[in-house]
Structure formats: C-alpha cells, structure tokens
Structure 1
Amino acid sequence: MRTAWLLTFGGLAALALGIGASITLTYGLVFVALLGGLAYALGVSGLSQRKWIALPAFVLGLVTPFLLLHGVHSVLVHRTGQVEQCTVTSEDEHPFAKYPRVDYVLACPSGEVELDRDWNDRLKTDRAQVVVGAPLLPLWADDSRWNLLVVTGVSGAMILLVPVARLLRRQP
C-alpha cells in the first residue's frame, strides 16, 4: 500500500517537474514527465486493486504529459508574454526530412530566438511575430491558443482519480 502511495505522489511530482522543466529549459525533458505519468498510473492501479481502473489511469498517465506540456506552455506564454516583431536572420530548410520543416533564427528586441515551423507553414516574409515571456520558451504568435479549461480539467481528473481509487479499495 505504501508503495502505491509513493508511486502515485512521486509520479505526480515527476510529472510536474518534467512539465515545468520542459517549458522553461528544453522539450527533451518531457521524458521525465512521461515516466511520472506512468508511475502515477501504476500507483493508482495499486491503490484501487481493481483491474478496470488501470485503463483510465494509464490513459491519463500517458496523455497528460504531452497535453500539459503544450497546453500549459501555450497558456502561460500567451497570458504572461508579450508579442514582439522579429526579423529572420537565417533559415535552414529541411524539405526532404521525414517531417519537412524550416528552422529559423530570429532577431527580436529581447534577443535572438530559434524556432521551427512545418514546411507547409513556412514564413512568406522576413518578419514574424513571436510571443516571448522569460523564462518560458518563445512561441509563434499565430500558434493556436490552448483553452485553460482543458489544461485544468486533465489535471483535475488526475487528482480526482486518486480518492476514487482509494474508495474502490475499501469496497468488498
């Protein structure tokens, strides 16, 4: 029982750490969040000791890191950051890669920014709008904005699944 609690709360902590580090440092740290989501799912499954709760726990554990990474980042940057007019200083095209894209280096008033775009959405001019909000990673200003309800709803579902799993364990 103690192991299940440690996995559940340790998984939630690793999820929060991985999401926080991924939106401020680098997207590569989403792996920490994914491991946290899986630990959370194992912990909730162990708390309830019911087989059917494992499916929603693992779905939440696998989907939440990616949803929260992009959702929390987008919500925070668009709410706290400012839009800057930037000029493209260089671009590196990758049209024949598995996922064709263009890597841009932009000169913004707050400093140099590196962003990439899909090949089909590449810039037509040498000017672009970028949303910058330190310490968060910058985003294109025209990126879709996430709904705060989606971001908080998934987090709330993860938190509410813990007492549900605990209550299911008490039933004979």
Structure 2
Amino acid sequence: MQTSSLETTAQARPQNRLGLLLLPLVILAGMGLSVEAGLLGPLGAQVGHLWATLSIFGVGTPILLLLLLFSGPQKGPALNALPRWQLIGGFLGPTYVVVLILATPRIGIAMTMIAILSGQVGKSVLIDHFGWFGSPRKRVNGERWIALLLIGVALVLIARG
C-alpha cells in the first residue's frame, strides 16, 4: 500500500515542529559546551588534564544514574546485545574533553569552539551524505558547501582576530 505525498507531508509536519522546538535546546547545549570549555581549562591546569577529565565524568555519571533511576524502564536491547562499534562514543567523549582541556587555555574558548564546530559540521555533512552509522542519506548540495565555506571563513577570522 502506497502513501500519498500529502499523507507523507502531514506525517513530516509534527517531526519538523519537534525539530524547531528542540533547536533552542540544542543551541543552549552548545552554549553549555563553551562554558564547559571555560571551566575545564583552569581545572586541567590545577589538577592535571586527565584528573580534570575524570572529575567531569565522575560528576556526570551519578547524575545520569539518578536520571536513569527516576526515568522508569528503558526500552531497547541490553547493552551487551549492541554492536561494539556503537560504543565508540565511550572513547570519543573523554578524548573530546581532554582536547578541550588542552586547547582552551592555549588558543582560547572562541577558537576552540569554532575549530570544534568546523570539525563537527564537516564530518556531519559526510555522515549525512553517505548515510554512515544508519543515518538517513542527505546529499551535499550547494547550500551545504556554502555553509562549510562560511564556517572555514569564521575559523580564519577568529584565528586572525
């Protein structure tokens, strides 16, 4: 049974609205990353880079455990049933924090964040384009190329400023 394009459009509207509602939350989370970078640089200088990273995850882990405890049963397979490649994020998170701790005091928060942003957006465009990790494919178009170019320009301008 085929769905009409009208039905497909109607089904996509709630998802688009949810995306628009989540956008301010995502922007706030991005702002939180800048604050985190500002906090981590001095913390790393005081206690060492790896201890600072461990302390961040040491604070975050009990918070997540409490959220899990009070959020009710979680759906989905057990952690040991997942493909191992999906757990790479457990390596990437601490690596990201260590890089923040090392870079922020040396190149500044703005430069660190725009460099991270350029890496995130560049890789995200590739992931979307090729549909890696099971994400839906979204081909690179002219607007995305322009966006990447503008992020590159922002990186250069912040580095020079």
TM-score band, normalised by shorter chain: under 0.3
Richer in strand (by share): 1
Q: TM-score by structure 1 length?
A: 0.26
Q: TM-score by structure 2 length?
A: 0.27
Richer in helix (by share): 2
